[in-house]
Structure 1
Amino acid sequence: MLRRTNLRFGHTLRLGIASDGLALVRINRLFGRAPVLLAEQRLDLFAPDALATGLSALFADHAPGGWTVSVVLADELIRLWQVTPPQGATRMGDLEGAAALRFQHLFGAPPSEWVIRADWDATRPFLASAAPLNLLNGLLLAAETYRFHLVDIRPQFVAALNHWRQARRAGAWFGQVHGGVLSLAAYDGAVLMAVRSSPIPAGADRDWLESHVAREALRVGVGRPERLQLCGAAPAAWGSSPGRLKFACSLLEQNAGDGWSDLARLARTGVPA
């Protein structure tokens, strides 16, 4: 069983939540120690009481009482979209209203059952995300029940984007490969223009990647990037190689295929391996 005294030595917990399961990872921020997978629990998150039942099983041998816990939500559970602030916006309410209207337009329903958070900005387009209200309430109840400190909840792509923000080079797009899906942050200079996700077809090679990026640039209405920087389990063949002239491709995590499951990698997103 985990003991509260470990907190003073820089330990924290990461909980990954996907539609098909949970994973619990221990992070030690001191001395560059590698994260440790503690447990995984398979489930159907959309079944009745699935989260509560799954957490009970996950914590059976790893009680989190007294620990700080950060949560990473798989991107299939949340919504991500870009919001253009209204002209002349001066109040937070203007930005919140624009985000809610854009949510309803894109996803075909009012956001009453979702919680919206964003990098609010009245001067340029900003990224917004929404998580299901019932899922967040379930996590708050779990924190109270198991007496852990819930310090952060964020989408996987946002966790990765924030982690690698300082590494992004001028003229580059950022991407994440996880669970057979490629998610791209398309930039125009320093401005984030869109986030787009697409399934990766079987056997997708570098030629597929170059064609896909070119199509996404056309859809977003920006130029093709000079470089693509990818995190996650990206195929090694996607990295730059001699004779490739369309754009460079950098793989930010050379050891992403290190035997960790998708659930475990979800939980440790944004943490050095």
Structure 2
Amino acid sequence: MSRWQVENIGVDIGAHAIALRRGAQRTTLKAHGGDWAALGAELTQLLPARARLLVRVADCWSRTFLLEPPAGISGLRDCRLLLDARFETLYGQAPADWLLQADWQADAPMLACAIPRGLRQALAGFSLARVLPALLQDWNRHCAALPADGVWCAAADGVVNLLLWHKARLQLVRQQPGQDVDGLLALELARLGVALPAARFWSGPAMPAGWTQLEAGA
């Protein structure tokens, strides 16, 4: 590769390891346990300065949630204030420590996500093609091919994810630590007063009978 050519490199930040993808080459690094400055320093040593990174952030390090704007809200500023308030309510953490983003719209539920601000700062020396939570990346990858009604359960990196949609619109996005997919699913279906959809998708080990495997990962 020419030294002037930009190289796309995948960086998968997992719970216990970091995987670098350079074409067919795969390299595994030890995770830094949320020490983003140390991660940035190691990547700076290992990767070429002209690298363009495609970063996948495990759900244990990122947040993905649904934001439902109340009637009458208008304007991006109001949506951002609502996003900050919703994040703090859900996670009990200061929004200032995170970078929050959403698919901004005032008349429908918005899919929102957050990554640690320290992680983004650690990657500031690189060109970034994308930095996405794992759940959001997988949803973007599959959503167009999914049926109009369905449920998707995924367990990875010590986090349970649950997404429920009806008429091609998300109704629910939930994340919680642990591996109790069954418990989370039963709780949320009862709370919403809805039945388990016929189209059921699963990512992770021990897939139950009657579910369809949905591939997760970069």
TM bucket, shorter chain: 0.7 to 0.9
Q: Give 2:111's aligned residue.
A: 127
What is the CA–CA distance in structure 2 between the aligned matches of 1:5 and 1:221, rounded to whole Å? 58
Partner of 1:182: 160
Q: Is the 8 A contact 1:117 1:130 kept in 2?
A: yes
* CA shift digits 1:143-195 (9 cap, x unpaired): 1xxxxx31110000000000011221132112333235431112233221222
Q: Aligned pair 1:96/2:75, yes or no?
A: no
Q: Relative to 1, partners in 2 of residues 1:224 and 1:13: Cα closer, same or farther, differing over 3 Å? A: same
Aligned residue number for residue 39 of structure 1 = 27
- 1:71 and 1:99, CA in 2 relative to 1: closer, same or farther beyond 3 A? same
Instruction: Report % sequence identity.
Output: 25
Aligned to 1:194, the other structure's residue is in SS state strand
- Residue equivalent to 1:84: 68
* Match 2:140 to one of 156, 159, 162: 162
Match of 1:246 in 2: none
Match of 2:205 among 223, 228, 234: 234
Q: Which amino acid aligns with 2:185?
A: V
* 8 Å CA contact retained: 2:11, 2:53: yes
RMSD of aligned C-alpha atoms?
2.7
Match of 1:20 in 2: 16
More strand by share: 2
CA displacement at 1:56 relative to structure 2 = 4.7
Q: Which amino acid aligns with 2:141?
A: H
- For the pair shown, the structure with the greater C-alpha radius of gyration is 1
Q: Distance in 2 between matches of 1:97 and 1:81?
A: 15
Q: Distance in 2 between matches of 1:44 and 1:173?
A: 33
| Aligned ranges 1:1-273 → 2 under 5 Å | 3-4=1-2, 12-27=8-23, 36-47=24-35, 49-56=37-44, 59=46, 63-141=47-125, 143=126, 149-179=127-157, 181-198=159-176, 199-200=178-179, 209=182, 213-231=185-203, 233-235=204-206, 237-240=207-210, 249-253=211-215, 269-270=217-218
TM-score by length of 1: 0.69
**Contact 1:173/1:228 (<8 A) preserved:** yes
Unaligned runs of 5+ in 2: none
Aligned length: 217
Task: Measure the CA separation in 2 of the matches of 1:48 and 1:171.
Answer: 39
Q: Which amino acid aligns with 1:214?
A: A
Cα 1:64/1:98, change in 2 over 3 Å = same
Deviations 1:31-61 (A, max 9, x none): xxxxx3521111333348421344256x2xx
